[in-house]
Amino acid sequence: MKRKILAALLASTMILSLVGCGGNGGAASTDSAAPTEDAAPAEDAAPADDAAAPADDAAASTSGAGELTVWCWDPAFNLNAMYEAEKVYQKDHPDFKLNVVETPWDDIQTKITTAATSGDLSTLPDIFLMQDNAFQKNVISFPDVCADLTNSGIDFSQFAAGKTAYSVIDGKNYGVPFDNGAVVACYRTDYLEQAGLTVDDFTDITFDQYLENGKKVLEATGKPLISMQAGECDLIMMMMQSAGSSLFNEDGTANIVGNDTLKTVMETYKSLKDAGVLVEVNSWDEYVGSIVSGDVAGTINGCWIMASIQTAEDQSGNWAITNMPSLVGVSGATNYSNNGGSSWAVTTNCKDQALAADFLASTFAGSTELYDNILPSGALATWAPAGDSDAYGAPSDFFGGDAVSAKIVDFSTKVPSNITGVYYYEARNAVATAITNYINGADIDAEMQTAADTVNFNMGQ
């Protein structure tokens, strides 16, 4: 199994290298190259119970003096958030300093893998940012890297449960949630008006209603409701998580064959495409272009897509957001999901884990001021108290005067949890192939079986 786990890390490098908070390619972010098989982590590794972790009263006992090194990417977004967090923390701890090092996610993943497989964690920083969909894989594969933050003094109950779940392994918290990837459905209200519809007709609806509304918009305007990148399965994964379904079971085995929710999702996706309500494009650039050029009447994606939409300044006032449609006939179906995002991890290499925990507890897990300050850069919180601030309640002229920031935080608190595990990217690739073949006429059950066989082969089962 250990060779298969490392092979999964290596294979993930070949997938798209994309960043979940509005970067190129949206949420389908992946990992970087791993060393050779011979340096694989321990077989069937689980998070180490004795990994160094801050004590229960660590946050209360630290003086706040000292310096921490942080790795993260995107200067205008993540680095900016850390600089603002430093300012907030320095108000009560003037001797505190951050050394923020711009490090692309691919490089962070490579450095984690290299440090863990070599047994030398001294090369790692005190804190680093990790893609949510890679969190479980890294903690399971490399159990000595991330500190257990469960009893650190951070109140994880104030974060959206679906977001927090990405960094919970065996009941322990290993990450502090950061940016919001809550799914929004965005619509051109001027197009809806031509079809005699408003955004209210798309709020709290099912995908059956979405399909019927989409047919009306297509007939009235000639515009599909939505575009998606061919060969990708972002919408598939969003639809699955909206019902609390995953491609894996709790024990890490594949949950593809016999997964009725996945089957319903695939059938729903095909019905949208067959009706012309959904159109597929060839690349990420074409996807964004179809939205901002007015070739489609809307989109469903992580809330970070709103930054791309707002580049079409001439469309200000003609957009609105609401929640996504729910699946029909699926137990646990909701109108809420997540796509993308990342969380902060404290390494076991950190010499002052009490300080690191107190810093995170006082800022990303405790400061409405911080979230107000970073809101203009597009950094939306999943920390529920932030949604109550005046800044989050401010209307957005672009989105019809709606208080979209507060609405998105509310959406994030309702997102069901899902299971990612070690082989998440391999599984979504297999499902993406299955949906493509199914759309082109293949038998759905046969394609689901092939996808499961592919994942099980990668897992060595």
Kindly state whether residues 299 and 362 are assigned to the same domain. no
Kindly state whether residues 163 and 143 are assigned to the same domain. yes
445 CB neighbour count, 10 Å cutoff: 12
Side-chain-side CA neighbours of residue 279 (13 Å): 19
151 CB neighbour count, 10 Å cutoff: 15
Instruction: Tell me, yes or no, whether 395 lies in a domain.
Output: yes
160: phi then psi, degrees, rounded to nearest 5: -60, 130
pTM to 2 decimals? 0.80
Instruction: Tell me, yes or no, whether 418 lies in a domain.
Output: no
- Residues 398-430: b if buried by 16+ CB within 10 A, e if exposed: bbbebebbbbbbbbbbbbbbbbbbbbbbbbbbb
Residue 125 CA, distance from chain mean position? 23
Tell me the C-alpha distance between 435 and 441, whole Å: 10
Collapsed DSSP state (helix, strand, coil) of residue 128? strand
Kindly state whether residues 190 and 176 are assigned to the same domain. no
- pLDDT for 19: 34
Instruction: Tell me, yes or no, whether 207 lies in a domain.
Output: yes
Instruction: Tell me, yes or no, whether 98 lies in a domain.
Output: yes
Collapsed DSSP state (helix, strand, coil) of residue 150? coil
Which residue type is seen at 139? V
Tell me the C-alpha distance between 433 and 110, whole Å: 27
Question: Which tens digit of pLDDT belongs to each residue from 332-347?
Answer: 999 999 998 899 999 9
Collapsed DSSP state (helix, strand, coil) of residue 451? helix
DSSP 8-class letter at 254: B
Kindly state whether residues 84 and 138 are assigned to the same domain. yes
Instruction: Tell me, yes or no, whether 28 lies in a domain.
Output: no
CATH number for the domain spanning 452: value is 3.40.190.10
Question: Which tens digit of pLDDT belongs to each residue from 360-417?
Answer: 999 999 999 999 999 988 888 889 999 899 999 999 999 999 999 999 999 999 999 9
Instruction: Tell me, yes or no, whether 21 lies in a domain.
Output: no
**Beta-strand relationship, 172-173 and 319-322:** unpaired
Question: Which tens digit of pLDDT belongs to each residue from 407-450?
Answer: 999 999 999 999 987 899 899 999 999 999 999 999 999 999 99
Instruction: Tell me, yes or no, whether 14 lies in a domain.
Output: no
DSSP 8-class letter at 78: I
Kindly state whether residues 303 and 358 are assigned to the same domain. no
Kindly state whether residues 95 and 70 are assigned to the same domain. yes
Tell me the C-alpha distance between 113 and 107, whole Å: 10
Kindly state whether residues 145 and 278 are assigned to the same domain. no
Which residue type is seen at 450? T
What is the number of domains present in the chain?
2
Kindly state whether residues 79 and 54 are assigned to the same domain. yes
List the domain range (segments joined by +) for residue 112: 35-181+341-409
Contact 7, 37 (CB under 8 A): yes
Which residue type is seen at 101? V
Kindly state whether residues 319 and 229 are assigned to the same domain. yes
344: phi then psi, degrees, rounded to nearest 5: -90, 135
Q: Which of the four pLDDT bands, split at 50, 70 and 90, describes residue 50?
A: very low
Instruction: Tell me, yes or no, whether 305 lies in a domain.
Output: yes
Kindly state whether residues 311 and 432 are assigned to the same domain. yes
Query: Where is the domain boundary, 369, 384, 409?
Result: 409
Kindly state whether residues 84 and 196 are assigned to the same domain. no
Task: Take residue 356 and report the two structure tokens written for it.
Answer: 């690191």
Kindly state whether residues 307 and 449 are assigned to the same domain. yes
